[in-house]
Amino acid sequence: MTETILALRDVTFRRGTTQILDGIDLTVRPGEHWALLGPNGAGKSTVLGLCGALTHPTTGTVEVLGHRLGRVELQRLRRSIGHVDPRHPLRSPLAVADVVITGLTGTVEQPLRWSPTPEQRRRAAELINLVGLSDRSEARWTTLSQGERGRVLIARALMAGPRLLLLDEPTTGLDVAAREQLLETIDDLARSGGDLASVLVTHHLEELPETTSHALVISQGRVVSAGPITEAVTTATISAAFGHPIKVDRVDGRWTARAVRARPNRDAA
């Protein structure tokens, strides 16, 4: 039986008296690359928090990398999860290589009285090259474009050799060129093989990498569809999730979504 990276079983989550998630099921296996889709307020961030061992369910079970939440030391588990968040709160002018190395310590700044080994620095250089920024390794975080920061954060997330990569709306704030560069980086990573699994959150189909293999579509905290992406992402499922008629197409591996406009009734004149 294939090992499971993530397993959410009949998960509910409540905040006070407000029901955020209701009966969520999700199974992610090694090498799968999932999209988590849905409108604003659908519960995507809460699901991602469960996947990242940052949130516990109200009811149901969550297993991450074979460990059930509530029965595992969370800090150790989180070190096996790479998290890419474009809202990374770093404010100091760390060099790119130093930002990537903080993926080892799980901190925003480099810890005092700690320094990486030569092997760890070599690994950081390899990852910086992987995301196409070898010529920017000494550039300062404060001078990077938003797109460059996104690629640095992917390298940072990979630094500890995670088995699960979580990408929280990674193309937020990017122009078209920077978005395409970032998606190309994600695709290259997926195509490089290996058992790394990923979950990417977005509400724009145009922001899905070509290598996305599966999708979970949710709305109002409930599953609309889940499974291989060509089955889970359709005109019917996306229209149902967003509560509006939306035509979904896929061209050369990339997805598009457009609202279906009602045709004027010329006979009514």
Residues 8, 253: Cα–Cα separation, whole Å: 28
3-state class of 37 per DSSP? strand
Is the confidence at residue 2, as pLDDT, over 60?
A: no
The pLDDT-based confidence of 262 (bands split at 50, 70, 90) is low
Radius of gyration (C-alpha) of the chain in whole angstroms: 20
* Digit-coded pLDDT (tens) for 140-195: 999 999 999 999 999 999 999 999 999 999 998 899 999 999 999 999 999 987 89
Q: How far apart are CA 87 and CA 94, in angstroms?
A: 16
User: Could you say which of 105, 128, 161 is where a domain stops?
Assistant: 161
Q: What is the mean pLDDT of the chain?
A: 92
Residue 216 forms part of a structural domain: yes
pLDDT in tens, 21-37: 999 999 999 999 999 99
Whether residue 176 is found in the same domain as residue 66: yes
Beta strands in the chain (DSSP E): 6-15, 18-28, 33-37, 59-64, 67-68, 81-84, 164-168, 197-202, 214-219, 222-228, 246-251, 254-259
The one-letter code for the residue type at 17 is: T
How far apart (Å, rounded) are the C-alpha atoms in residues 250 and 25? 26
- What's the pLDDT tens digit per position in 35-82? 999 999 999 999 999 999 999 999 999 999 999 998 888 888 888 899
- What would the DSSP string read from start to end of 164-229? EEEEESTTTT--HHHHHHHHHHHHHHHHT-SS-EEEEEES-GGG--TT--EEEEEETTEEEEEEEH
- What share of the chain has pLDDT > 70, as a percent? 96
Whether 179 is covered by a domain: the verdict is: yes
Residue 243 lies in a domain: no
Residue 40 lies in a domain: yes
Q: How many domains is the chain partitioned into structurally?
A: 2
Amino acid at 30: P
CATH code at 53? 3.40.50.300
Contacts of 5 (CB under 8 A, 6+ apart): 28, 29, 30, 32, 64, 65, 163, 164, 197
Neighbours of 26 (CB within 10 A): 21
Strand partners, 15: 18
Domain residues for the domain of 180 are: 1-80+162-234
Same domain, 153 and 29: no
Q: Is residue 242 part of a domain?
A: no
Of 145, 161, 177, at which residue does a domain stop? 161
